[in-house]
Amino acid sequence: MAIGIISPYPEFTAYAEQLALQMNLPIVVREGALQRGLYYANQLVEDDGVNIIIGRGATADFLEQKLDIPVVKIHVNNFDLLRVFKQANESQKPIVFIDHYENDNIYDISFISEVLQAEIIVKKYQNEKDITQHIHRIAKEFNPDEIVIVCTAQCMARTASHYGIESFLVTTPREAIGEALMRAKETSILYEREKLRQRHLEAIISYAFDGVVATDEEGNISVFNERASQIIGIKPVDVMGRKLSLMQHPFLRKLYGNGEQGTEKLITLGKTSYIVNRIPIENSTNSLVITFQETSKVMQLESQLRSELHHRRFYAKYSFDNIVYQSDIMRNTIQLAKKFSETESNVLVIGESGTGKELFAQSVHQASQRKSGPFIAINCAALPESLLESELFGYEEGAFTGARKGGKPGLFEMAHEGTLFLDEIGELPITLQARLLRVLQEKEVMRVGGERIIPINVRIIAATNRDLKKSIKINEFREDLYFRLSVLQIKIPPLRERKQDILPLTQELMSQKSHGQLQVDKEIKTTFLNYDWPGNVRELENVIERIIAVGPTSSLEMTKLLLEDQMEYGDLEAQKIEVKLGTLKDMEEQIVHSLYHLYEGNKQELADALGVSRTTLWKKIKEMNVI
């Protein structure tokens, strides 16, 4: 199977073709964006038989919505933008950046503008028509030699050129294209395997039930297999050759029904239910094939096969070897985690944001006896309660409006014989905590809208950056669930408490992200060691990317500038607010109102500052009419 690529510009095409040749990958490339890109993608699927598409940015998002095959997305990141904005800024002209409306929260244009001291005008588009209109208006408002445009696709650059406006194209590094080709290759293989397995699953569930009864053209029973004999309790010799429609046995009468075609029909005999498929043979009036099986066994088989399909898609990428450290405290933490890996007990990973809690969770899984099983992660704060429940426990067909036909297994089922990582467990709604506790106690799960108990064998690793004992005191977290989850505890120290690790981490991240091209000078190292890193390793990684983005011009002053937003955040926490004396409720309302504006409406930061959950904060805000 070939890999399809929708390329945004000619140089991208050339890189992709060179890399594919080196990697011995068959590819088919077309250049286009948005609607034109979709037109070419459909051509690639129909004419060239591609089973996966590589796209970039907004075009990839658009293709993902419209196509039925996987789309591998190459992201345009702040580093890519900073590089092209730096080039465009050398013209000393205002810069117009035409960007898709969905990218509002992805790019930090204000930061780039501040770093480069450049005037950047952002124009948002939804389709090709918007792009043309924007460039047309720009040509009317400015002389062509007074403005430059930063484009994300060649079609924008051509339109700008038509009006005589200089443009700069956002390019993608060769390494990112190579990485996308590797992902596409792996995804293509998995996609084909899953399609094959899905066809097997459909055949088994739809037709391959154990009991089989068939009739010939005259309507007489011609097939009555051993399993049908066992279920019904009739010997084949007693029914063979007899007309099925005239049989008086209650089970056979229910199997035949009205003789018309039917699939997945439910019949009941005594206390046992059966799923029946009644399939007329083409061009024959009386010939039927009837397959049937007990519903309980069918559902067990379906669950097993679905779980097998999903196991292939979930795995842990990191191990303890990927953790960079020199400090004794981190060495001791890793040694403890390795010992915990040898057990089957649940683990609670505690640490501030950005300390690497999931990295530890994956490492524990990789070092455990469950390493060949699936590793599945879910962020308990990322989904609303109703959706989180169906994701964790699964649901049956018809459980709610929009439920998938045939239902869906939950993450507990898919993590069978493996590990389920529950990130931000402290944000789990209190109503779901009771259900989670029961699953942990009984080691079995029931899907939403279902009646069947499904046994599971799953190890739980949970993580939190909250003080759960404090949450227990204010009735936001169940104490019994806490003790179930925290049989073993791993406390990851923040970066400020293990300063010995800052320089090794800096060196490793710099080497990874600059491919060994840049080094950190002595002054920057000193600045790093004197900084508290409230965002921990994640913040360090972001700062390294910023340093790489500005290239050889990096200096101590530039580093301070890069850290400025974090330092300002630290200053915010030290600020004070004034509260007028009054009733407790009045003062509480003043505090929430002041902090809401201080944190610019960021509910997560405000909740952390007040030491409450986001659910509690939201209720307070609604009661006080703060917004």
- Asked if 607 and 540 sit in the same domain, the reply is no
Written as one letter, the residue type at 473 is K
- Asked if 85 and 71 sit in the same domain, the reply is no
Domain count, the chain: 6
Whether 43 maps to a domain, the answer reads yes
Residue 199 has a CB neighbour count (10 Å cut-off) of 10
**Six-digit token pair at 259?**
């003789």
- Asked if 487 and 342 sit in the same domain, the reply is yes
In the prediction, which pLDDT does 401 show?
A: 67
- Asked if 66 and 105 sit in the same domain, the reply is no
Tokens 């009735």 belong to residue: 475
Whether 577 maps to a domain, the answer reads no
CATH number at residue 602: 1.10.10
Structural domain ending residue among the three candidates 441, 467, 491: 491
- Asked if 273 and 415 sit in the same domain, the reply is no
- Asked if 152 and 269 sit in the same domain, the reply is no
Q: Which residues of 148-187 are buried (b: 16+ CB within 10 A; e: fewer)?
A: bbbbbbbbbbebbeeeebebbbbbbeeebbbebbebbbeb
In the prediction, which pLDDT does 207 show?
A: 46
Structural domain ending residue among the three candidates 279, 295, 311: 295
Whether 314 maps to a domain, the answer reads no
Whether 212 maps to a domain, the answer reads yes
The whole domain housing 83 covers 78-171
Structural domain ending residue among the three candidates 491, 521, 547: 491
**Six-digit token pair at 356?**
């690497």
Cβ 108 vs Cβ 80: under 8 Å: no
Whether 360 maps to a domain, the answer reads yes
- Asked if 413 and 499 sit in the same domain, the reply is no
- Asked if 343 and 468 sit in the same domain, the reply is yes
In the prediction, which pLDDT does 610 show?
A: 76
Whether 29 maps to a domain, the answer reads yes
In the prediction, which pLDDT does 310 show?
A: 47
pLDDT tens per residue, range 231-287 = 888 998 999 999 999 998 989 988 888 888 887 788 888 778 888 888 888 777 788
- Asked if 482 and 514 sit in the same domain, the reply is no
- Asked if 216 and 191 sit in the same domain, the reply is no
Whether 448 maps to a domain, the answer reads yes
Whether 312 maps to a domain, the answer reads no
Cβ 38 vs Cβ 86: under 8 Å: no
**Six-digit token pair at 522?**
């002595």
CATH number at residue 541: 1.10.8.60
Return d(Cα 241, Cα 219) in angstroms, integer.
9
Task: Give the residue from 352, 389, 407, 366 showing the smallest Cα distance to 532.
Answer: 352
Cβ 384 vs Cβ 523: under 8 Å: no
Walking along the chain (627 residues) 10 residues at a time, the average pLDDT comes out as 88 91 91 89 89 90 89 88 88 87 78 86 85 88 88 84 88 90 90 74 46 88 85 90 91 87 81 86 80 74 51 74 94 96 95 94 94 89 85 82 75 90 93 92 88 88 94 93 94 94 91 77 81 90 82 57 52 58 78 76 76 77 71
- Asked if 402 and 522 sit in the same domain, the reply is no
- Asked if 83 and 55 sit in the same domain, the reply is no
Helix axes 614-624, 603-610, angle to 10 degrees: 100
